[in-house]
Amino acid sequence: MDFIQNLQTAVEYIEDYILEPITYEDVAKHLHLSSFHFHRTFSIVTGMTVNEYIRNRRLSMAGQELSVSNIKVIDVALKYGYESPESFTKAFSRFHGITPNLAKRAGAKLKSFNRLLIKIKVEGGTVLDYRIESREEFTLLAKVKKFKFRNETASENEANEIPNFWEESKSDGTFSILGQHAVNNEMYGLCAPISKGSKYFNYGIGMAYAGGSIPDGFTEWKVEPTLWAVFKCVGDTPDCIAETWDRIFKEFLPGSEYQMLDDMDFELYSDKFQPEVFCEIWIPVKKKQ
């Protein structure tokens, strides 16, 4: 499915079932995508999570209904998915700036959150360099850890779990063990695809494997042959990685002849890169039909 059409189909599905107890997981399942892949795409392109969009649309619609009808607050709360008037009042007040009871008064000022319309917007004039590479299967030795897929409710500690994993691996001897079994000095940050319906994914720190016995606590990670779109992350800090992902989803994928596969992607770190390059992002792609 085309990149933009995919997102528009998601919005249409949400709007059709806006009064049902749906989440981003239900929308991803409708699109036959993993929750992680869909959530990441939607969040980067729209600037909000799927659940934020659903919540804001419901609160906007609830405000309109309260302002033009005699419906009771408790009935509106239940209609828009809240278990109690108290939880509804708290969310409504945070969104609109007034309570539901005040919203029923003539002249009450409410906020409107309209339905999303996904469009390609061309702006700037900067160049996003990329290259397409075909690689045969290769094998990595990796230290792998399971992480819970984060949504908008993630705490600061949860958001830093993967960076903390890198710091731990630097200090606990992981890098040293990887280096002893590696064919070169290049290091990979591997993000495995999340199976549909799962709330967890595997993330690995690895190096190209020279073979032999696998050390305790490590895993042999095979990367299947495919086409890859490769992007340089230019900067001095890891912030450039998020910035590059943002441009991949907003600039490359909407207008490219390639579409991203719902499969593993990785970051590649190498001392062969130019000084201004922090790392490369490799995403699996195929040509659009």
Interval 191-229: pLDDT, tens: 987 665 567 788 999 999 988 899 999 999 999 999 999
Task: Kindly state the tokens that stand for 263.
Answer: 């499969």
Confidence of residue 1 (pLDDT cuts 50, 70, 90): very low
CA 239 to CA 210: how far, in whole Å? 32
Q: In this predicted structure, what is the pLDDT of residue 196? A: 58
In percent, the amount of the chain with pLDDT more than 90 equals: 62
Of the two residues 218 and 161, the one the predictor is more confident about is 218
Q: In this predicted structure, what is the pLDDT of residue 159? A: 61
Query: For residues 46 and 82, is the Cβ–Cβ distance under 8 A?
Result: no
Closest CA to 133 of 287, 288, 282: 282
Confidence of residue 76 (pLDDT cuts 50, 70, 90): very high
Of the two residues 212 and 141, the one the predictor is more confident about is 141
Instruction: Please tell me the class of the 131-287 domain.
Output: alpha beta
Q: In this predicted structure, what is the pLDDT of residue 53? A: 94
Q: Is the pLDDT of residue 121 over 60?
A: no
Domain boundaries, the chain: 3-103, 131-287
Query: For residues 99 and 59, is the Cβ–Cβ distance under 8 A?
Result: no
- Look up residue 164 and give its amino acid: N
Confidence of residue 155 (pLDDT cuts 50, 70, 90): very low
Q: Is the pLDDT of residue 61 over 90?
A: yes
Q: Is the pLDDT of residue 183 over 60?
A: yes
Q: Is the pLDDT of residue 262 over 90?
A: no
Mean pLDDT of 44-73: 92
Cα–Cα separations (whole angstroms), residue 217 to 122, 143, 212, 258: 47, 7, 15, 37
Which of 28-32, 150-154, 163-167, 285-289 reaches the highest mean pLDDT? 163-167
Least confident of 128-137, 162-171, 251-260: 251-260
DSSP the chain: --HHHHHHHHHHHHHHTTTS---HHHHHHHTT--HHHHHHHHHHHHSS-HHHHHHHHHHHHHHHHHHHS---HHHHHHHTT-SSHHHHHHHHHHHHSS-HHHHTSTT------PPP--------------EEEEE--EEEEEEEEEEEPP-TT--HHHHTHHHHHHHHHHHTTHHHHHHHTEEEEEEEEEEPPPPTT-SEEEEEEEEEE--SPPPTT-EEEEE--EEEEEEEEESSSTHHHHHHHHHIIIIIHHHSSEEE-SS-EEEEE-TTS-TTEEEEEEEEEEE--
For the domain bounded by 3-103, which CATH number is listed?
Answer: 1.10.10.60
Q: In this predicted structure, what is the pLDDT of residue 126? A: 58
Q: In this predicted structure, what is the pLDDT of residue 156? A: 47
Q: In this predicted structure, what is the pLDDT of residue 82? A: 95
In percent, the amount of the chain with pLDDT more than 70 equals: 91
Q: 141: which residues sit within 8 A by CB, 6+ positions away? A: 178, 181, 182, 206, 207, 209, 214, 215, 218, 219, 220, 221
Q: What's the chain's average pLDDT?
A: 88
Least confident of 14-28, 109-123, 126-140: 109-123
Task: Kindly state the tokens that stand for 136.
Answer: 């045969």
